[in-house]
């Protein structure tokens, strides 16, 4: 509790009581301002582009084994931003804003363009480097519940990487999250389970997240391997939050895969505030975020309530008019209704994933996706 702002300790205790007694999905719980991190959950999709040079490099090798190694390096480069960047330098993991219906976010990271949109209960994201011929369609939703003294979050969805020069697709699933330190006010994320990256060329990468031992040891270790047509090519080791390594099969010589401590995250270049739409994240939540920066939680709560009240009003008006909200920019395509080769290949890759990932019954696809422009 010593990590909690003195002025909010009473509210923090009340909030913990609410969380503990809550029986539904914790991600839907309304959160007081002092426990918010100043980001919309929708923006988390941009972490896939944190290191644009890794994303661009995927298409450069003519060797399918090397391309899977490049994909694995890029995947490792996304983890620090996604799961560690918000709880470093004395900061603790906090709850993001719950995105509203139709909320949108746009930015560029180096040569990578990103567009994201929220379709409750999931957020869809799309990243592209047109010159490199690499794109990523994905969507993610979260289901959370208490497990002991931690919060377990199961991530539902998938990401599908498309590499145009080689006409390849890579299906990627997501790790489970364990939020530790909730009761002390010093929350942080530990990854669990395994992630699989499966390619239409026969290459496969499996990354297992190793739990910290009860006594001693370190957080965030990984182990795994990369295979091609059933034959192991590389073994993986290290820590995803620090340095990860690969070794040629049968060799003990380690080579650096990715150094999370040495590679800064790319800046997000967003449209000017005045050019953003009312439903774009930075404009929508701007007043809440500014209040949080100066720890004016009373104003932050008031501005957050205005947004929530506005949404309730819009929802009521829609119901009275018998209107159905129709998503734009992204379209959901069910695996069972696959007709095109892109969707068919993605559905087929699901059969080779490790464990029982929550891959959903289809995928959200950007309406101007690179694979649709062939």
CATH number of domain containing 332: 2.40.160.120
Domain residue limits at 180? 8-274+325-370
**What kind and span of H or E run contains 113?**
strand 112-119
The answer to whether residue 236 sits within a structural domain is: yes
User: What's the angle, vertex CA 155, arms to CA 154 and CA 161, rounded to 5?
Assistant: 155
The predicted pLDDT at position 351 comes to 87
The answer to whether residue 280 sits within a structural domain is: no
The answer to whether residue 312 sits within a structural domain is: no
pLDDT in tens, 147-189: 778 888 999 999 999 999 999 999 999 999 999 988 777 889 9
The answer to whether residue 284 sits within a structural domain is: no
One digit per residue, the tens of pLDDT, for the chain of length 374 reads 455 566 566 676 777 777 666 666 666 667 888 889 999 999 999 999 999 999 999 999 999 999 999 999 999 999 999 999 998 777 788 899 999 999 999 999 999 999 999 998 899 999 999 999 999 999 999 888 887 788 889 999 999 999 999 999 999 999 999 999 887 778 899 999 999 999 999 999 999 999 888 888 899 999 999 999 999 999 999 999 999 999 999 999 999 999 999 989 999 999 999 999 999 999 999 999 999 999 999 999 999 999 999 999 998 999 998 888 888 999 999 999 888 999 999 999 998 898 777 888 999 999 999 999 86
Q: How many domains does the chain have?
A: 1
Q: Point out which residues pair with 145 in neighbouring strands.
A: 152
The answer to whether residue 224 sits within a structural domain is: yes
* Maximal CA-CA distance, the chain: 67
At residue 270, what are phi and psi to the nearest 5 degrees? -105, 160
For residue 267, CA distances in Å to 105, 112, 371 come to 15, 11, 27
Supply the pTM of this predicted model. Answer: 0.93
The answer to whether residue 340 sits within a structural domain is: yes
The answer to whether residue 29 sits within a structural domain is: yes
The answer to whether residue 307 sits within a structural domain is: no
């Amino acid at each position: 509790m010593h990590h909690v702002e003195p002025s909010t300790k009473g509210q923090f205790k009340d909030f913990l009581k609410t969380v503990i007694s809550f029986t539904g999905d914790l991600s839907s719980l309304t959160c007081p301002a002092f426990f918010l991190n100043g980001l919309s959950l929708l923006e988390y999709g941009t972490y896939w582009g944190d290191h644009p040079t890794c994303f661009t490099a995927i298409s450069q090798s003519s060797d399918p084994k090397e391309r899977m190694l490049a994909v694995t390096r890029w995947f490792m480069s996304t983890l620090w931003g996604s799961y560690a960047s918000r709880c470093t330098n004395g900061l603790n993991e906090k709850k993001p804003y719950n995105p509203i219906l139709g909320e949108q976010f746009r930015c560029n990271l180096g040569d990578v363009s990103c567009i994201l949109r929220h379709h409750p209960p999931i957020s869809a994201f799309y990243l592209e480097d047109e010159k490199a011929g690499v794109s990523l369609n994905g969507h993610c939703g979260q289901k959370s519940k208490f497990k002991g003294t931690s919060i377990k979050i199961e991530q539902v969805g998938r990401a599908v990487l498309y590499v145009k020069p080689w006409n390849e697709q890579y299906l990627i699933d997501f790790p489970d999250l364990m939020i530790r330190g909730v009761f002390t006010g010093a929350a942080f994320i530990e990854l669990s389970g395994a992630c699989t990256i499966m390619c239409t060329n026969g290459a496969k990468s499996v990354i297992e997240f190793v739990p910290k031992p009860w006594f001693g040891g370190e957080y965030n270790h990984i182990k795994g391997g990369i295979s091609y047509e059933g034959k192991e090519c590389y073994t993986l080791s290290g820590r995803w939050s620090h340095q990860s390594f690969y070794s040629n099969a049968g060799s003990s010589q380690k080579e650096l895969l990715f150094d999370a401590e040495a590679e800064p995250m790319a800046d997000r270049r967003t449209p000017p505030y005045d050019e953003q739409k009312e439903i774009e994240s930075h404009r929508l939540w701007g007043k809440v975020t500014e209040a949080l920066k100066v720890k004016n939680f009373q104003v932050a709560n008031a501005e957050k309530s205005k947004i929530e009240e506005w949404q309730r009003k819009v929802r009521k008006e829609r119901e009275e008019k018998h209107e159905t909200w129709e998503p734009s920019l992204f379209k959901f395509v069910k695996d069972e209704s696959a007709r095109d080769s892109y969707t068919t290949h993605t559905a087929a890759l699901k059969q080779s994933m490790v464990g029982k990932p929550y891959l959903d019954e289809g995928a959200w696809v950007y309406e101007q996706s690179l694979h649709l422009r062939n």
